[in-house]
Chains A and B, each alone.
Chain A
Amino acid sequence: GQQVMQIPQYQHVQEGEDFTTYCNSSTTLSNIQWYKQRPGGHPVFLIQLVKSGEVKKQKRLTFQFGEAKKNSSLHITATQTTDVGTYFCAGKGGGTSYGKLTFGQGTILTVHP
């Protein structure tokens, strides 16, 4: 079945440093979504990428979808303590139906002030 691998599992940064998490799928994806889960909270949708090579920005966050639609990344510029949490990518394969997503393992980000 479809697998989505996400690295790194943990990332510790000093406030102000940049952060990147990477997501790789074993199969071509029709789209990819990113979610953020704050400590003690539940995952919250951030963004969706659909087109090959697509790049989207949300303030300090930059999301990319690979040309082959098998990988994606999330980059945060100049991290802040409010960025703390777990970031998940979730991909939808072309053959799956009804909006079923396969989630990566998540990257846990800690930011030291």
Chain B
Amino acid sequence: DVKVTQSSRYLVKRTGEKVFLECVQDMDHENMFWYRQDPGLGLRLIYFSYDVKMKEKGDIPEGYSVSREKKERFSLILESASTNQTSMYLCASSLRGPVYEQYFGPGTRLTVT
């Protein structure tokens, strides 16, 4: 079974702090994704990566950056957390190509106070 793990289920940070969210997958998937999920807005793509050190902006990249130094690990960075970044963050991975499903991690609920 594919397993996608995320470093924390719940996280509370203060405004202005730098925040790191880590995601690890164990199935050698080329693609990895970061989404945020907010009520009524569905899943919105922040960034995705199709290979080590490669990344592309998603639909809402502002205020975020990412890092992929190893194939199995994809990090989301909030350089200076703001209250409007309070959300559920979901990581996903998939094989490369248009016809493969995405496997999601359990999510990190981030609260910025």
Q: Give the chain A neighbours of B94 by CB distance below 8 A.
A: 99
Cβ of A59 within 8 Å of any chain B Cβ, yes or no, is: no
Minimum CB–CB distance from B113 to chain A (whole Å) comes to: 23
Chain B residues near A90 (CB, 8 Å)? Answer: 43, 102
Q: Are the CB atoms of B42 and A6 closer together than 8 Å?
A: yes
A72-113 vs B, CB cutoff 8 Å, 1 = contact: the mask equals: 000000000000000010101000011111111110000000
Residue pair A48, B42 in contact (C-beta under 8 Å): no
CA distance A102 to B101 in the complex (A): 13
Contact between B31 and A42 (Cβ–Cβ < 8 Å)? no
Contacts of A42 in B (CB 8 A): 90, 104-107
Report whether A103 and B42 are in contact in the complex, using a CB–CB cutoff of 8 Å: yes
Give the number of residue pairs across the A-B interface with Cβ within 8 Å.
68
Structural contact, A9 and B40, CB atoms closer than 8 A: yes
A102 CA to B43 CA in the complex, in Å? 8
List A contacts of B103 (CB < 8 A): 45
Chain A residue numbers with a CB within 8 Å of B107 are 42
Interchain CB contact under 8 A, A105 and B40? yes
Bound-state Cα–Cα, A90 to B107, Å: 18
Q: What are the residues of chain A within 8 A of B44 when measuring CB–CB? A: 103
For window 1-17 of A, CB contacts with B under 8 Å fall at: 1, 6, 9
Please, which residue of chain A has its CB at the minimum distance from the CB of B45? A100
Name B6's closest neighbour in chain A (CB-CB). A42
**Which residues of chain B (68-113) have a CB below 8 Å from chain A?**
90, 92, 94-107
**A residues 23-78 in Cβ contact with B at 8 Å:** 30-31, 33, 41-45, 48, 50
Residues of A within 8 A of B (CB): 1, 6, 9, 30-31, 33, 41-45, 48, 50, 88, 90, 92, 97-106
Given A92-B98, A103-B35, 4 additional A-B pairs, CB 8 A: A1-B59, A98-B30, A99-B98, A101-B102
Can you give 5 A-B contacts (C-beta < 8 A)?
A43-B92, A48-B99, A100-B48, A103-B35, A105-B40
